[in-house]
Amino acid sequence: MYVDSIEKSIHYRMSISIDNFIWWYVEIGARHRRHVRHLPVTAPHHVSLPPSPRVRALLLLLRRLRSTASRPETMATTEQQQQQQKIEHVHLRVRGLTLHVAQAGKGELGTVVFLHGFPEIWYSWRHQMLAVAAAGYRAVAPDWRGYGLSDQPPEPEAAGFDDLVEDLLAVLDALAVPKAFLVATDFGSMVAYDFALRHPNHTCGVMSLGAPFVSDRTSFNTLPEGFYVLRWVQPGRAEADFARYDVKRVVRTIYILFSRSDIPIAEKDQEIMDLADLSTPLPEWFTEEDLDVYSSLYEKSGFRYPLQMPYRSLFKRKPNGDAKFQVPVHVVMGEKDYVFKFPGVEFAMRDGGMEKHAQDLKITYIPEGCHFVQEQFPDRVNELLLGFLRDHPVAV
């Protein structure tokens, strides 16, 4: 009862500041533990947190955002600190599930929706959210169903990209956003492309990081059996591999592998988690504190749905060879992104593959960029993003 009460109450209090949220959380926790509901309360000297994965994950995330803003070595400007404090968190009931959404900014110039991939969550877009909010846009970053602080779907094995397209439409409707720019990465780009093709009247434009539009179903037949996607589409294979380690070790390894320029491929006597160990350093732009945030959220969500979406749903996605985008498209590709070596990607990027689908197309390369370019080079990505938004103003 106590934990349920706390979580339900949090849903209505996500939009307050970080400091006030943590203060309220401690106060209401103390009140529940003393079983005194109507007397004035004072802040206790020490209160242990209740054992709720959702609450623990959110508190860690909020404290991480606050501490990052206040540490001298990462001190932001006063304006940036204020923006970090203004990131709001809401839970929306859409299509039978409760989805977590982070948002910032008032949206005088429009709305920008950020769509994450794997192994990411909304937090992956923290730098871009603050940048577009400061520029006059409303930033909206949902956790997909089955990810982060969003609900798990009742039948994860039935996962499909159509569900995410419809979830996105429902989120826009719940937030009273008639039309938005979509900024996406990894499998989030597939959803953004599908959404723009089906709902051009709700789409201002698409910016994709590291994922061009490929009209035909991608074939991985030319890649070895140890290719991570071919391993992870096998039911139970990744589950057994991941189960050998704790969640933090799994997330750490995936971030290391996906930050490299080579496609993760295991030998016959290896599993994917064997391709990096604790002696392998994290990317220099990815901190232990960042790892803590991601790990806490995957401890809450687990990997059951993320293995279905995207990996075991890839081959269910229908090809769309006649696709024609009615909105502007900007693809940003890190030249050291391992996805660049996927079959069909270089053709789409450099040999005119995308041009037949998008009349208003721009392609930008970031020479040292990896798969997580928005976290690796946030200033450069923010510059490109704000330029894309300025080049395509919308009436609000």
Token code pair at residue 196: 């723009």
Q: Is 330 a catalytic residue?
A: no
Phi and psi of 381, rounded to 5°?
Answer: -65, -40
Mean pLDDT of 88-100: 96
Residue holding tokens 């928005």?
374
Q: Is 371 a catalytic residue?
A: yes
Q: CB 18: neighbour CB atoms within 10 A? A: 20
pLDDT-based confidence at residue 339 (cuts at 50, 70, 90): very high
Token code pair at residue 180: 């938005």
Give the CA-trace dihedral at 329, 149, 271, 236, to 10 degrees. -110
pLDDT at 6: 38
Range with the largest mean pLDDT of 32-36, 76-80, 381-385: 381-385
Catalytic residue among 151, 163, 167, 186: 186
pLDDT at 395: 79
pLDDT-based confidence at residue 214 (cuts at 50, 70, 90): confident
Predicted structure pTM score: 0.81
Query: Which of 98, 165, 148, 95 lies closest to 313 in space, CA to CA?
Result: 165
The Cα–Cα gap between 173 and 138 comes to: 15
Catalytic residue among 311, 330, 337, 338: 311
Mean pLDDT of 112-130: 96
Phi and psi of 184, rounded to 5°?
Answer: -145, 160
Map residue 93 onto helix, strand or coil.
strand
Q: Is 91 a catalytic residue?
A: no
pLDDT at 195 over 60: yes
Structure confidence by residue, pLDDT tens digits, 240-253: 999 999 999 999 99
Start-to-end CA distance of the chain, whole Å, equals: 44
pLDDT at 224 over 60: yes
Which of 1-15, 53-67, 315-329 is predicted least confidently?
A: 1-15
Domains of the chain: 88-396 (3.40.50.1820)
Gyration radius from the chain CA atoms = 21
Phi and psi of 97, rounded to 5°?
Answer: -125, 155
**Are 369 and 244 within 8 A, CB to CB?**
no
Specify the length of the chain in residues: 396
The Cα–Cα gap between 396 and 179 comes to: 9
Which of 187-196, 208-217, 231-240, 287-296 is predicted least confidently?
A: 208-217
Choose between 68 and 324: higher pLDDT.
324
